[in-house]
Structure 1
Amino acid sequence: MKVLTVVGARPQFIKAAPVSREIRRKADEILVHTGQHYDKSMSDVFFEELHIPVPDYNLHVGSKAHGRQTGEMLSKLEDVILSEKPDCVLVYGDTNSTLAGALAASKLHIPVAHVEAGLRSFNRRMPEEINRVLTDHVSKWLFCPTKTAIRHLASEGITEGVHLVGDVMLDAVLYNKRLAEEKTTTLQDLGLEAGSYILITLHRAENTDDSERLRQIIEAINRLPMAAVLPLHPRTRGKMEQNGLIIDNDHVQLIEPVGYLDMLQLEVNARKILTDSGGVQKEAFFARVPCITMRDETEWTETVELGTNILTGADTGKILEAVETFEVEFSEIEPVFGDGHASGKIVEQIIRDLG
């Protein structure tokens, strides 16, 4: 059996690591990197740290407008699929790489496996929402992290090929947490004490492409009353420069993007996490750290319902109030993202169905 895996963005590298290990124990894998994240600090370091094999193909698509980027990926992936003739194509999450892989495979009648199926924010203005909805509707296997995701699919008439497997990011966190403790010195390097700082991530298009939302978020960061660290995404840096915005707060350390192990160490030891990332919301849950999400909705609704995550939008006042007051008693929180063995369940199901 030959599986062609498509990745292209930082969260997908993390998700692919445990699944690829399982695939390679039992089948052949062709790994394709679209090049959607093209900066070395956002890409190469993840393959090195997570022991993911060097991609068999790197399409070097890079940053472009959504339509142009997706179209170029679609064209190049079609050539790869025709050449490799895989038994299935495996895609992750909700990026343009995800959609391009799913469309290229489905048009060539190659079955698609979607890891992290069934997520919905119900905001069709988000490109990620369009990507995940379309991908789900062309997939043969829909591997869901939660029962909520299964209900979302059922409401859209998708009931065949749906499997509750848990979250592959939990697999990754469990595998890498000890490695991070042994190998990273990022807290010492940054002069941070465990439990005494806020970790910030900011990159979503809905925030960075909207100048007013970005202004309000930067204003909140500039008014933070305690130590904070912000690994600044290259795209966010460019949008800040374009809008004349700067971080002007002695409490906040601006650093370059960090590798996964360093990021995991920063998450696990943070007092609170302030983010607009889907993946970081989950990692905060796994790390048992209160999460403040600078979005109006989230695809990870379970974290909000369980009270471990609060939505503030881009409102300066709400962000600062949450930083000051939002606390969580994690001992009372139900584990809803599986048992840490999602990767094995995914590979077993594909092998079973393909015979």
Structure 2
Amino acid sequence: MKLTIVAGARPNFIKIAPLIRAIEKKSKQGININYELVHTGQHYDKNLSGNFFRELNIPEPEVNLNVGSGTQAEQTAAIMIGFEKYLNNNRPDLVVVVGDVTSTMACAIVAKKADIKLAHVEAGIRSWDLSMPEEINRMVTDCLADYFFTTSKLANENLKSTGVRDEQIFYVGNVMIDTLRHEESNFKKPEIFNTAHLHEKDYFVLTLHRPNNVDELSHLEFILKTIVHSSKNYKIVFPVHPRTKNQLNDLVNEFDNLLTVEPMGYLEFNYLVKHCKAVITDSGGITEEATVMHVPCITLRENTERPETCEIGTNVLVGSDLAKIQAAFEKLYNNQWPYGAIPELWDGNSAERIIENLVNLFQA
């Protein structure tokens, strides 16, 4: 069985690392399974891409489409053209796409038009918010996939409601947590920890990258002022996404306790999250990692495609509502934040379940 695994952005790299380990383990056991890794180049910044291959022991991709920057339409078109050329010369038995980035959707479309079987890892999750590009990517990919690997029972139900058959759905857990469990002992203290004299549970971590939070300067300023004024002078470490950096300019100089740093590698960033008082974010993946590490998480979004992080985890949705943000901080200061539980099957073995199922499917 020959697989083509597609990755294009930071969350993809975290999710493919355990898949590659599981494939290599099966291969060493004498199972006829191999893969080629295609990097679309959607994320091309070293800290968003290159370092992840080294840190997570991912082999260099056989192919890099090098699509680079551009609008979503430009990136989608470039990925589709490049991936079509790749498939014309390298036809696998199965294309595996992960998550919900532009590369996921673009390569899913190309694979199906080439009449190649398609598997979607992290299928079925929904925010039901079509203003989010990722939601569109998820829906399109799930319309095309042949095999669906899910992180929750709710995701299963979402798929069934669209006509996906039970035998196509495999409830396997969360591969992102596989990587977290595998790498937790390797987390590395970043330089900012010493230079800023940070102490455990005595600082916040902030990430922002969604267009509705960072594209309009007045709204970004409102968010930052609200967070800083609610922080009671705790230091706030803010690894700045390239998208957000363009907007900040002199804005951060208004706040003494807001520490901006360059994007971090996986091991350094998760060290920061693991030891912080709370993480404030608009990312979906970070809410999963925070839940598993029992770190309070304040999410600056009105909805989430990962409701289990709120229902049984450590995540609270506040959107950009001033009262909700302030209430979340007060709950934190009053030690009223729930410890949270870890969702079912988020146990570090999801990738092995995925590869076991694929082996059974293609050997049947």
The question of a shared fold, defined as TM-score above 0.5 by the shorter chain, is answered with yes
Q: So what's the TM-score if we normalise by structure 2?
A: 0.92
Cα separation, 1, equivalents of 2:148 and 2:212:
27
Report SS of the residue matched to 1:198.
strand
Cα separation, 1, equivalents of 2:85 and 2:106:
12
Q: Give 1:29 shift.
A: 1.4
Matches within 5 A, 1:297-312: 297-306=303-312, 308-312=314-318
- Identify the residue that residue 236 of structure 2 maps to in structure 1: 228
Cα separation, 2, equivalents of 1:215 and 1:353:
52
Q: Which moved more, 1:148-157 or 1:319-328?
A: 319-328
Matches within 5 A, 1:225-304: 225=232, 226-241=234-249, 245-246=251-252, 248-304=254-310
Equivalent AA in structure 1 for residue 92 of structure 2: P
| Residues 189 and 114 of structure 1: CA distance in aligned 2, closer, same or farther (over 3 Å) | farther
Q: Does 1:13 align with 2:21?
A: no
Q: Give 1:339 shift.
A: 2.3
Match of 2:164 among 158, 174, 186: 158
Q: Does 1:172 align with 2:161?
A: no
Report SS of the residue matched to 1:42.
coil
- Identify the residue that residue 30 of structure 2 maps to in structure 1: none
Q: Give 1:320 shift.
A: 3.3
Cα separation, 1, equivalents of 2:23 and 2:145:
19
C-alpha contact 2:182 2:348 (8 A) present in aligned 1: no
Report SS of the residue matched to 1:199.
strand
C-alpha contact 2:312 2:343 (8 A) present in aligned 1: no
Sequence identity percentage: 40
1:16-73 superposed Cα distances (whole Å, 9 cap, x missing partner): 1111111233222111111111111111011111110011111111121111110110
Equivalent AA in structure 1 for residue 182 of structure 2: Y
Q: Does 1:349 align with 2:357?
A: yes
Match of 2:148 among 142, 148, 156: 142
Q: Give 1:333 shift.
A: 2.5
Q: Give 1:234 shift.
A: 1.1
Equivalent AA in structure 1 for residue 181 of structure 2: L
Equivalent AA in structure 1 for residue 24 of structure 2: R
Match of 1:93 among 99, 124, 131: 99
| Residues 312 and 180 of structure 1: CA distance in aligned 2, closer, same or farther (over 3 Å) | same
Matches within 5 A, 1:93-132: 93-132=99-138
Q: Does 1:73 align with 2:71?
A: no
Q: Give 1:216 shift.
A: 2.1
Matches within 5 A, 1:330-345: 330=339, 333=341, 335-345=343-353
Q: Give 1:324 shift.
A: 2.8
- Identify the residue that residue 214 of structure 1 maps to in structure 2: 220
Cα separation, 2, equivalents of 1:3 and 1:138:
17
Cα separation, 1, equivalents of 2:214 and 2:190:
30
C-alpha contact 1:88 1:110 (8 A) present in aligned 2: yes
Match of 1:60 among 57, 66, 69: 66
Equivalent AA in structure 1 for residue 46 of structure 2: K
Q: Give 1:164 shift.
A: 0.4
Report SS of the residue matched to 2:252.
coil
Cα separation, 1, equivalents of 2:192 and 2:172:
33
C-alpha contact 1:216 1:316 (8 A) present in aligned 2: no
Cα separation, 2, equivalents of 1:111 and 1:350:
12
Unmatched runs of 5 consecutive residues or more in structure 2: 28-32
1:128-163 superposed Cα distances (whole Å, 9 cap, x missing partner): 000001101111111001111111112222234111
Q: Give 1:235 shift.
A: 1.1
Q: Give 1:206 shift.
A: 2.7
Q: Give 1:247 shift.
A: 5.0
Q: Give 1:306 shift.
A: 2.1
Cα separation, 1, equivalents of 2:121 and 2:253:
36
C-alpha contact 1:222 1:248 (8 A) present in aligned 2: no
| Residues 3 and 186 of structure 1: CA distance in aligned 2, closer, same or farther (over 3 Å) | farther
Cα separation, 2, equivalents of 1:178 and 1:185:
18
RMSD: 1.8
Aligned residue pairs: how many? 351
- Identify the residue that residue 191 of structure 1 maps to in structure 2: 197
Q: Give 1:209 shift.
A: 2.7
Q: Which moved more, 1:195-204 or 1:321-330?
A: 321-330
Cα separation, 2, equivalents of 1:316 and 1:216:
9
Equivalent AA in structure 2 for residue 339 of structure 1: D
1:98-132 superposed Cα distances (whole Å, 9 cap, x missing partner): 00111110110111111110110000111100000
- Identify the residue that residue 328 of structure 1 maps to in structure 2: 337
Equivalent AA in structure 1 for residue 238 of structure 2: L
Q: Give 1:315 shift.
A: 2.8
Match of 2:206 among 181, 200, 204: 200
